[in-house]
Amino acid sequence: MKKQSVKVHYAGGFKNRRQFLKISGLTLASAGVLAACKDDNNDMPTPDPDPETPFDLGEGDLGVLNYAYALEQLEADFYTKVVNSFYSGISDDEKQVLTDLYNHEVNHREFFKAALTAATSGDTDLITPELEFDYGGLDFSDRAQVLGTAKVLEDTGVAAYNGAGYLITNADYLLIAGKIVSVEARHASAIRSLLNPDSADFSGDDVVDGNGLDQALAPSVILAAVAGTGFVKTEFTANKLP
Amino acid sequence: MNIIKFLNQFSTENIQEDKRASRRELFGSFGDIGKNLAMSALPLGLAVAPKKAQARSPKDAVSALQLALTLEYLEDEFYDLALQSGVIPSGSRAEKAYMQISKHEQAHVDFLVAGLTAAGVTPVSKPTFDFTVGGAFDPFNENGVGMDTAYAQLLALAQAFEDTGVRAYKGQAGNLIGTPYITPALQIHSVEARHASEIRRIRGLKGWITGMERGAGMPEATQAVYNGEENYMQGGVDLTSLGSGSPFTMEASSEAYDEALSGDDAVAIASLFIVS
């Protein structure tokens, strides 16, 4: 069976492609229709004169770094929105945590940009482009929505790094990924304790299994989940990552 | 296996030598392009790495797991004794945290013992610990230091152990490349970081480490846990030069990345609490 490509190009606010296409007025009776839709309108009589191939993250260490860069772009962009317009009634503790997370994630994003530029000798064709985001109906003035989204983003980041670590062949890259993932886990813990203080949620049974292991998810699973949020407008694929 | 013997062996074992050798091989295999890139941006010139993972020798992987098990024994016993001590206020946030963390540390011990055994290796035996460090501390109020002081020490030690755990696992990741243990080790590593963040926040600190600060109320003896955390160079990139404003200060650039602890340094810290 052909490996399913992961495309992240859904319009903001829609839960998934099916819902998006339904709202677009298309009827989706079968998976066959979905599959046909995959190739951009390949049933059109005239082909697009300038067909755009979405960026593919690539394979190996480069693919993993591009993958991390894409995720860090999302986190950084989200917290930039958060700190530029804090929800009303925010506590000092919450403000400090969210400001720090903004600082850390922007730093991570710019680090990956610099690292990838150095690693590819500046070949931008090989580097994840600057992604565009759209948070649709997400209400940044609502504490529960902001912290709830932050929780998902941080837990996802942890599971993503944990699940991609074994793909890294270079010990230096693995070390850097390790330096970042533990900070993401510290973030996840803090956000969880803001949402549910005085509880075990910081390291909750929903993310840590009976062996005391945090989540580790494959890039395809993570990217499908990211696509599901509808936050990422720029289309890209991860055809060469598991 | 005698724990002290193991730890001594671990400290003196030439793991660094091994690493240098394999790194030389790695560079050698890239030819001129690799060398040029490596010189311009170490270690970031190696993005186009060979597909095949650079498997470490089994000896390195086993040593890494035995060290991890030793640290998990330490944490597991610490939280058990802490919960039994009566020092932690009943029903408090700290008690809930300690119970959850205790559950995880016990699971980590069991998981590592099972993993090593399945690999045909005899797990190191559990050391005898002394959490008073020869009477310097009294975290369980066994020597009558008083509940408030004992509680403060009990939280401070937890912070030191969790922050050490995060750094120690990170330091061993390279030894697990190409082995089936890398993913579970990463999965334990991030759980330790979740623990560290909560303990630090219970103590009124940020969940992350700023510079090399051990944080208010941490005994000076714990400074070894934080030395080196002030790093703001990653992969040859000076993070403070990447932009302006608060995300690129030295503080933020150090907070955003946890640093690794060498096997030697992790052993030195753990050894403070090991009697035999």
Residue B14 has pLDDT above 90, yes or no: no
Band of pLDDT at residue B49, cut at 50, 70 and 90: very low
- Picking from B16, B79, B187, B190 by the largest number of A CB atoms within 10 A of its own CB, the best residue to mutate is B190
Q: Tell me what the mean pLDDT of segment A158-170 comes to.
A: 97
Yes or no: say if A180 and A108 are a contact pair by the CB < 8 Å rule. Answer: yes
Q: Give yes or no for residue A199 having a pLDDT over 80.
A: yes
ipTM over 0.95: no
Q: Decide if pLDDT at A4 tops 70.
A: no
Integer Cα distance of B259 and B241 in angstroms = 19
Report which residue type is found at A60.
Answer: G
Neighbours of A169 (CB within 10 A): 21
pLDDT tens per residue, range B265-276: 999 999 999 998
Which residue(s) pair with A237 in the sheet? A56
| pLDDT value of position A45 | 52
Q: What's the pLDDT at A48?
A: 53
pLDDT tops 60 at residue A47: no
Dist. CA B165–CA A119, nearest whole Å: 31
pLDDT in tens, A102-157: 999 999 999 999 999 999 999 999 999 999 999 999 999 999 999 999 999 999 99
For residue B45, the chain A residues in CB contact (below 8 A) are 118-119
Rounded mean pLDDT, B44-67:
60
Q: What does the pLDDT average to over B126-155?
A: 96
List the single range of A30-34, B20-24, B188-192 with lowest mean pLDDT.
Answer: A30-34
**CB proximity under 8 Å: B 219-238 to A:** 234-237
Q: In this structure, which long-range contacts are made by residues B215-224, counting pairs with CB atoms below 8 Å and at least 24 apart in sequence? A: B215/B159, B217/B152, B217/B156, B218/B156, B218/B159, B218/B160, B219/B137, B219/B153, B219/B156, B221/B133, B221/B136, B221/B272, B222/B156, B222/B159, B222/B160, B224/B265, B224/B268, B224/B269
Taking CA–CA distances from A218, the nearest residue in chain B reads B183
pLDDT at B37 (0 to 100)? 28
pLDDT at B164 over 70: yes
Tokens representing B71 are 């640290």
Q: How far is B158 from chain A (nearest CA, A)?
A: 15
pTM of structure:
0.83
